[in-house]
Structure 1
Amino acid sequence: MEIISLSKVDKSRLEEAARLLLDGFTASWNDWTECVEEVEESLQNDRISRVAIHENGKVVGWIAGASNYRGNVWDLHPLVVHKDYQGQGIGKALVADFESCVREKGGVTIFLGTDDEDNGTTLFGQELYPDVLGRLQQIKNRNHHPFGFYEKAGFSIVGVLPDANGFGKPDIFMAKRVAKLTK
């Protein structure tokens, strides 16, 4: 497997990344044109957009992100791996590569949101107010929610936005420092 930057001139790989988005995020992305636009938007100068290429030449994973806070923080969005290639370390490799790209650009922290719209955590369907942080401290993973993957990659849960996707459907915020701490 090889990880490379996605390019505007490579329409075939751009479309393969859009297909990954369409197939991998069926609840969020169900329009082909929107998926293509999302991939094209990831190619702007203040962004990172990388794809994992299998030995057979097929795009099997895509990761992208945008710069925030004057380049100190990078928002990782999205990360998707073709369902037939999940569990083979491709997502982990894409995250490590993204971290390296962020460091090269002088970034300090990577931030992401991971929604729970389908009973993936113990926060789903719950009234989180008024003790939002107390409830967040008790979070448990059900049904292989992605926050478990990100924790294994060194990310920490840093917050939650209750009801972000409707009642009982929160967005869980995670972050990881990627720059070396200097004194």
Structure 2
Amino acid sequence: MRIINLNGAGRDVLEQVAILLVDSFKEHWTTFDSAFQEVQESLTSDRISRVAVDKNGIVLGWIGGISQYSGNVWELHPLVVRSEFRHQGIGSALVLDLENKVRERGGLTLWLGTDDEDNMTSLSDINLYPNVWKHIANIKNLRGHPYEFYQKLGFVIVGVMPDANGVGKPDIYMAKSLRN
């Protein structure tokens, strides 16, 4: 496996990434065209867009970064790995690669939002107000939510947006300092 810039890759690679988005996030990208537009938007100069490919040029995963706060902070968006290649270190390698690319551009913090739309944590299906931080401190992973994947990579929960995706469906905000 190698990780390369998506910017400059051939149309075949861009199309593979769009198909990967539709396959993995059907609720957000329902058509190839909407996914392909997302892929194209990732190719601007204020973004980082990297793909993991195998020796045959097959896309195994994709990660993106979006510059914010004058480049001090970057949003990790998106991260996706082909289902048959998950739990093999590809996602971790993509995140570490993105961290290095963000550092090269002077970034200090990398953050992400990881939705809980499917009642996968103890933060879902409840009213988080008025004790939001109490709920965060006592979070439990009920059904394999990816927040623990990010914690293993050094990210910490820095907040939540209650009801971001509807009643009882929060977005969990995580961040990691890149100053080391």
In the superposition, the TM-score normalised over structure 2's length comes to 0.97
Q: What amino acid maps onto 2:156 in structure 1?
A: S
How far apart, CA to CA, are the structure 2 residues paired with 1:61 and 1:40? 16
Q: Which residue of 2 aligns with 1:16?
A: 16
CA RMSD after TM alignment: 0.9
- Per-residue CA distance 1:110-162 (angstroms, 9 max, x = gap): 01000000111111101111111111111111211010110011100000000
Q: What amino acid maps onto 1:87 in structure 2?
A: H
- Per-residue CA distance 1:53-105 (angstroms, 9 max, x = gap): 01232001000011000100000000000000001000000000000000000
Q: Which residue of 2 aligns with 1:53?
A: 53
Does the 8 Å CA contact 1:8/1:14 hold for their aligned counterparts? Answer: no
Identity %: 55
Unaligned runs of 5+ in 1: none
Q: What amino acid maps onto 1:150 in structure 2?
A: Y
How far apart, CA to CA, are the structure 1 residues paired with 2:140 and 2:42? 32
The answer to which of 65-74 and 1-10 deviates more is 1-10
- Per-residue CA distance 1:2-47 (angstroms, 9 max, x = gap): 0000025511101111111111112222122110011100000010
How far apart, CA to CA, are the structure 1 residues paired with 2:83 and 2:163? 28
Question: Secondary structure at 2:26's aligned position in 1?
Answer: coil
Question: Secondary structure at 1:88's aligned position in 2?
Answer: coil
Q: What amino acid maps onto 2:105 in structure 1?
A: K
Q: Which residue of 1 aligns with 2:39?
A: 39
How far apart, CA to CA, are the structure 2 residues paired with 1:151 and 1:140? 13
How far apart, CA to CA, are the structure 2 residues paired with 1:105 and 1:119? 37
How far apart, CA to CA, are the structure 2 residues paired with 1:55 and 1:45? 27
Unaligned runs of 5+ in 2: none
Q: Which residue of 2 aligns with 1:25?
A: 25
How far apart, CA to CA, are the structure 2 residues paired with 1:99 and 1:69? 16
Where do 1:1-183 residues align within 5 Å?
A: 1-8=1-8, 10-180=10-180
Does the 8 Å CA contact 1:109/1:176 hold for their aligned counterparts? Answer: yes
How far apart, CA to CA, are the structure 2 residues paired with 1:69 and 1:43? 19
Structure 1's 105 and 123: CA in aligned 2 closer, same or farther, altered over 3 A?
same
Q: Which 4+ stretches in 1 moved above 4 angstroms?
A: none
Does the 8 Å CA contact 1:80/1:91 hold for their aligned counterparts? Answer: yes
How far apart, CA to CA, are the structure 1 residues paired with 2:42 and 2:55? 24
Structure 1's 9 and 91: CA in aligned 2 closer, same or farther, altered over 3 A?
closer
